[in-house]
Structure 1
Amino acid sequence: MTVRVPGRPGAELGYTEPLAHVADTIDRIAASGNAGIHEELRVEDWRVVGRSIFPTLATSEVCVTCHNRELGSARFAKGDVMGAFVVESDLTGYVARSLAYAGFAFGLLLLGYQILANREYRRTRAIVELESQVQLERQRREAEAHSNFVLSHDSLTGLVRRSVFMEKLGDICAEGCEKRFFLALIDLDDFKTINDTMGHDAGDALLVAIGSRLQNLAIDASGLAARLGGDEFALLVPKTERIPSMRSIGTSIVDLVRREVTHDSFSIQSSCSVGLSECGPGQLHDRKSFLKYADAALYVAKNGGKDQYCEFDDGIRRDLNRRSLITSALPQAIRHNELSVAFQPKICLASGLPVEFESLARWDLHSKPVSPGEFVKIAEETGTVLELDLATLAKAAEFAVCAINLTGTQVRISSNVSALGFRTPQIADRILDCVTKAGLPPRCLTIEVTESVLVENVASANESLSSMRANGVRVALDDFGTGYSSLRYLQQLVFDEIKIDRSFLQDIAKNNEKHFLFAKIVEMAKGLNKEVVVEGIENQAQLNLAVSTGANLGQGYFFSKPLDQTAALAYAQRLTRDRFGSQAV
């Protein structure tokens, strides 16, 4: 193959080269004027060929002259490319080895990458799993904390519940009361009236407001406020300079509850009763006593007129001890038939004849009489009042049977039954069983109930009273005018007589306001075709006023004080024999 040098017409180099591109390469070298070594790598016939082209330059005038003379023309000049040497190498094996090494290196690199990737994957996975576990544990704890909060805090007010508060009391008492603490039990006054008149939403709004105020007071005093249930709250605070005494905390609670609460269009004015007790060094209280003392003080505050606080003291301690004694002894006295019954006659105002005896429970504890107002109230609070009433009725029925046998005339008795007793569905059957066992005809019995029975359940009470009336038992509405008196109740309750409370005769005088009201009540009762019994007649003037109004029966110390069974039998026998012969008592 002949290689011509560009720019040199007719210049040829004798050159045997199977590849035509070598001449092109030399041409490019000559054209560019770059006479350096040119190397290239090509694949030819499945071989890798490495070729180095070394250009030949005219470096001297002698060389140029010689060449031009041989060519017969001045074709070359000093510095021109006059030809080239080509060096070829078979690089197939080298390339193959290089590729093998490269493949091996790539494999190692890939393996290393895989190892690193697997390690990073495991690390990342471990981190993700750990984060997931942490997140799950956090969610579990948050859910548990929320659950514990819901279980331990009141949903309406956000205050702690009774269980948490009692636990706190136990902790304080367990520590020996090294620091002085004040416990306040708070009961909202007439909360039911607010619910009934303004609605439960208003009642809830009041509870929330009171709860918030107590909570703020507890936080300021480093104490604890709780909602014990319904409208009952509790506050436990340590003695501090800000709260140095029970009086200071009691005054603060009463004042903050008195503050007005606004809900929708309602302005709610509330009050509370507060019972306070103290626990501290030198006072060995347990949790039960700590709470019981505050509860006893609360009881006194409510009975004292409400809207006030009361501190537990020695006087309340004595009353509490006596109350505890009566509470434990009364059920045993009822079971062991230790109660007695006194009888007070009811007199016909027109004829002066006794027409009935009212039975009154009496009880001596350790040979000392207990006031009926005391033990009957405790019986109502402890749930033994129905057994007390039935025990009294049984003794009264036995007395009536004895009086009938002694006088030969019909003797009627009346007996009180508490409104709480009418919560028992079988109350009518149990009353009829009492008189039946004694052998007393039901027509000789009058059951006296107070108006509070209407507050319990009018329909249920009427059903029981109607059942007794159907068997001949009379029904009297006792203490009319002192509780929930209204014409609606008079229309709803089935009864045969009205007993006007003794309070109407106190300070009564002819033509004064009490006399006018008393006369109208008698007129209304007689208009309803009911017998009227006037209680508490103690002098001739009161008797004259009662007679002037047209009342039917009278009862009081003017006629007779309550008599024991023997005296009452003698009273009935004497009146029957001396004054009325064989006429009915």
Structure 2
Amino acid sequence: MSTVFANLEGMFFRCLVDEYWTLLSVSPGCRELTGHAAQDLVGNRQRSLEALTHPEDRAAVRGTILAALDTGGRYHIEYRIVCRDGEEKWVLERGVGLRDELGRQVLDGYLEDITDRVLAQIQLAETELRYRSIFENSVVGMFQSTENGRYLAANQALATLYRYPTPESLISSLADIATGLYVAPRRRVDFKRLIQRDGQVSDFESEVICRDGGRIWISENAHAVCAPDGSLLYYEGTVEDITERRRYQSVLQHQATHDPLTGLPNRNLLQDRLDQAVQQALRQANKVALAFVDLDNFKVINDSLGHAAGDELLIEIARRLRHALRGVDTIARYGGDEFVLIMGEQTSREDTQHLLDRVLATIQAPLALEGHDLRINCSIGVSVYPDDAQDLDGLLRVADVAMYHAKKTGKGQYHFYTRDLNQVVQDRFVLESALQRAIEHNELTVVYQPKTDAAGRVRGFEALVRWNSAGQGLVTPDRFIPLAEETGQILAIGEQVLYAACRTAASWPLVDGQALGIAVNLSARQLKEPGLLAMIADALAVSGLPPDCLELEITESMIMGDVEHTIRVLKSIKALGVRIAVDDFGTGYSSLSYLQRLPIDTLKIDRSFVSGCDRGGKAMAIPHAIIFLGKTLNLHIVAEGVETEGERDVLAISGCNEFQGYFFARPMQHAAVDEYLRSILN
């Protein structure tokens, strides 16, 4: 019996009912449980059962035991103990009070280690709480429904979508989804048939009837949840209101020629409006003025007040432009914060100046936005038909040159195109030609900036292109990349960088037993190229780089062109095994609903949000929100532009996975990378 007693897990004990719970005897299991030998515990008030008990739990333990002693019953209680090495363990104590042979009141009890069970329960509770929080607080409608058409669960977003005050009222009121929700009688049948065939439905669009009788269009993404034996338990999914999208589809012609935000004509309508103004000018022997308007410091306002405020500002500017000009004039949104004005019936420069003065005064009038009093300026470049050019492209080109000159010389003014400004055009042409030669003669080089974890361990690199021109000197990327995008030269540059980066990364040694990844930027033009997928596959094959070591970065603004096309292309790239990252996240106009559908692995926090985030408060609000969003979607989070230890630390604490920036290392040439890797491996 003593052998069995000695080998039992846990600790049997007898202790006095005193202020210390002084131990009178303990079983050998005490060492495994507490780290203390039996002789160190028995009779030792410094290592009594009270001393072993976690300070926060002592009062509850004593209260439970004393209450049991008063009633003469047995007791059991779960609490924490502190072991010899400082480790905390959860234990279950069972015991009973009695009198020993000396007549003293004692406890006979048993302590069992239940740490694994308690921690598992805590983790399960936290997981369930996070899931419930996401479910209840999501802005996207979420549901669970039975096969026969009843809702088991719904969140507030879904109830609101269907015009019900609460999820409970939605669940109780809709007894049959097939007949009570869908307009088309067989739509629920189609839903079930697709899930039975594929296990899920994606972008399942239907017209539904809301509680108030109104109708909306929805898109559902759902899947079947099955028991271990394969039997169906319920359907689970999300619902998105796509009524506006369907409405837009019915007015495609209008959308093709008008900006959806401001309602102004877009660039597609400019040629027709210019033709009309030119014909009128020819009949009346006068001229047409074209003004290229660019808002000053719009990005600063957009970044500081948010994209919603930026959109509101653009709408207000469009309204003011309509008010400033005449009915015969055309106002078009050319893109971003750029507008084009076509002003016909101009008999003299004074006529045009009068209109432009009115435009400037109207735009510069005080503006209240998001609780802020603002004064907006704009820079305007002006060209005149037929003096400066004979067609739309020519007029836009020289007006853009004049606008750049107006912005460069002080902003908040307009400038007419003159022949003297031809030098600007010539400089641009020279730079474009030099860039073409640089591409053809491999004058561009690729440098690599490390991406590290919070401890500074390198996990990969980002490939960046640099140009040190024989005739131009060092040309910064902000000068030649936008030019390359406009001219299409970015396609050749992107191809060179991709192949070079894959070859270089394939030669790197393992670090901590892992292959290093390489991130390469994709341009908007590349994303539209039909041969992109074949080029990526060939670059991997030629270099021998494993696909999962390549990460392709797209900017957030690139997503918002042809969204469906972007999703198809990215899914095809993902099928190769390549990772996808969204760069400069938070600076574009993308909808979070699209983020759920994009096959992405990584979110990169833009340097504009990283800078100064260690100040906390509002400075950390956006990075914290991006990290929380990314973690919720199970995405890898990378912060770029980290320049201080404080920025690194606060982002790491918030859950950021990787970092890049001057705090860790500047971009370096291929040879320097090899030396850098040797230094960290030795």
- The two structures have a TM-score, normalised by structure 1, of 0.55
Shift of 1:302: 8.8
Are 1:372 and 2:480 an aligned pair?
Answer: no
Residues of 1 paired with 2:271 and 2:496: CA distance?
45
Are 1:356 and 2:460 an aligned pair?
Answer: yes
Q: 1:251 is aligned with what amino acid?
A: D
Q: 1:165 to 1:342 in 2, by over 3 A?
A: farther
- 1:182 touches 1:239 (CA, 8 Å); kept in 2? no
Q: 1:301 to 1:424 in 2, by over 3 A?
A: farther
Q: Which residue of 2 aligns with 1:461?
A: 566
- Where 1:234 maps in the other structure, the secondary structure is strand
Q: 1:454 to 1:278 in 2, by over 3 A?
A: closer
Q: Which residue of 2 aligns with 1:448?
A: 553
Q: Give the root-mean-square deviation of aligned CA atoms.
A: 4.7
- Where 1:567 maps in the other structure, the secondary structure is helix
Instruction: Within 5 Å, give how 1:220-231 maps onto structure 2.
Output: none
Q: 1:528 is aligned with what amino acid?
A: L
Q: Which residue of 1 aligns with 2:640?
A: 535
Instruction: Within 5 Å, give how 1:414-563 maps onto structure 2.
Output: 414-563=519-668
- 1:301 touches 1:309 (CA, 8 Å); kept in 2? yes
Shift of 1:399: 1.4
Shift of 1:557: 0.2
Shift of 1:539: 1.2
Residues of 2 paired with 1:503 and 1:227: CA distance?
32
- 1:420 touches 1:453 (CA, 8 Å); kept in 2? no
Are 1:234 and 2:346 an aligned pair?
Answer: no
- 1:533 touches 1:552 (CA, 8 Å); kept in 2? yes
- Richer in helix (by share): 1
Residues of 1 paired with 2:397 and 2:557: CA distance?
28
- 1:276 touches 1:294 (CA, 8 Å); kept in 2? yes
- Where 1:465 maps in the other structure, the secondary structure is helix
Quote the sequence identity (%).
31
Q: Which residue of 2 aligns with 1:381?
A: 486
Q: 1:403 is aligned with what amino acid?
A: W
Shift of 1:535: 0.8
Shift of 1:511: 3.3
Q: 1:559 to 1:271 in 2, by over 3 A?
A: closer
- 2:320 touches 2:362 (CA, 8 Å); kept in 1? no
Q: Deviations over 1:232-281 (max 9, x none)?
A: 443474546x45xx75553234457899xxxxxxxxxx99863125899x
- 2:379 touches 2:407 (CA, 8 Å); kept in 1? yes
Q: 1:291 to 1:485 in 2, by over 3 A?
A: closer
Task: Give the gaps of 5 or more residues in structure 1.
Answer: 1-153, 173-180, 216-224, 260-269, 579-585
Q: Which residue of 1 aligns with 2:428?
A: 323
Q: 1:330 to 1:155 in 2, by over 3 A?
A: closer
Residues of 2 paired with 1:207 and 1:158: CA distance?
23
Residues of 2 paired with 1:414 and 1:155: CA distance?
39
Residues of 2 paired with 1:319 and 1:543: CA distance?
42
Higher relative contact order (CA 8 A, sep 6+): 1
Instruction: Within 5 Å, give how 1:109-188 maps onto structure 2.
Output: 161=275, 164=278, 183-186=289-292
Q: 1:362 is aligned with what amino acid?
A: R
Q: Which residue of 2 aligns with 1:213?
A: 326
**Higher radius of gyration, 1 or 2:** 1
- 1:393 touches 1:434 (CA, 8 Å); kept in 2? yes
- 2:567 touches 2:599 (CA, 8 Å); kept in 1? yes
- 1:214 touches 1:235 (CA, 8 Å); kept in 2? no
Q: 1:315 to 1:208 in 2, by over 3 A?
A: closer
Q: 2:275 is aligned with what amino acid?
A: R
Q: 1:318 to 1:165 in 2, by over 3 A?
A: farther
Q: Deviations over 1:360-388 (max 9, x none)?
A: 01112315111112211112222232322
Q: 1:465 to 1:506 in 2, by over 3 A?
A: same
Q: Give the stretch that moved more between structures: 564-573 or 354-363.
A: 564-573
- 1:407 touches 1:572 (CA, 8 Å); kept in 2? no
- Where 1:252 maps in the other structure, the secondary structure is helix
- 1:274 touches 1:309 (CA, 8 Å); kept in 2? yes
- 2:325 touches 2:359 (CA, 8 Å); kept in 1? no
Q: Which residue of 1 aligns with 2:380?
A: 274
Shift of 1:347: 0.4
Shift of 1:308: 6.2
Q: Which residue of 2 aligns with 1:69?
A: none
- Where 1:184 maps in the other structure, the secondary structure is strand
Shift of 1:402: 2.9
Q: 1:516 to 1:407 in 2, by over 3 A?
A: closer
- 1:186 touches 1:234 (CA, 8 Å); kept in 2? no
Residues of 2 paired with 1:381 and 1:248: CA distance?
33
Q: 1:355 to 1:210 in 2, by over 3 A?
A: same
Q: Which residue of 2 aligns with 1:102?
A: none
Residues of 2 paired with 1:358 and 1:321: CA distance?
34
Shift of 1:299: 5.5
- Where 1:509 maps in the other structure, the secondary structure is helix
- Where 2:561 maps in the other structure, the secondary structure is helix
- 1:277 touches 1:290 (CA, 8 Å); kept in 2? yes
Residues of 2 paired with 1:357 and 1:339: CA distance?
18
Q: 2:544 is aligned with what amino acid?
A: G
Q: Deviations over 1:492-512 (max 9, x none)?
A: 211111110111122333432
Q: 1:301 to 1:531 in 2, by over 3 A?
A: farther
Q: Which residue of 2 aligns with 1:398?
A: 503
Task: Give the gaps of 5 or more residues in structure 2.
Answer: 1-267, 299-306, 366-375
Q: Deviations over 1:170-194 (max 9, x none)?
A: x99xxxxxxxx9943346989xx99
Q: Which residue of 2 aligns with 1:3?
A: none
- Where 2:639 maps in the other structure, the secondary structure is strand
Shift of 1:550: 1.8
Instruction: Within 5 Å, give how 1:284-323 maps onto structure 2.
Output: 292-298=397-403, 309-312=414-417, 319-323=424-428
Q: Which residue of 2 aligns with 1:581?
A: none
Q: Deviations over 1:204-247 (max 9, x none)?
A: x98996898174xxxxxxxxx7899987443474546x45xx75
- The two structures have a TM-score, normalised by structure 2, of 0.48
Residues of 2 paired with 1:166 and 1:347: CA distance?
63
Q: Which residue of 1 aligns with 2:358?
A: 252
- Richer in strand (by share): 2
- Where 2:380 maps in the other structure, the secondary structure is strand
Q: Which residue of 2 aligns with 1:135?
A: none
Q: 1:363 is aligned with what amino acid?
A: W
- Where 1:456 maps in the other structure, the secondary structure is coil
Q: 1:358 is aligned with what amino acid?
A: E
- 2:461 touches 2:519 (CA, 8 Å); kept in 1? yes
- 2:388 touches 2:398 (CA, 8 Å); kept in 1? no
Are 1:412 and 2:517 an aligned pair?
Answer: yes
- 1:186 touches 1:272 (CA, 8 Å); kept in 2? no
- 1:272 touches 1:308 (CA, 8 Å); kept in 2? yes
- Where 1:375 maps in the other structure, the secondary structure is helix
Q: 1:506 is aligned with what amino acid?
A: S
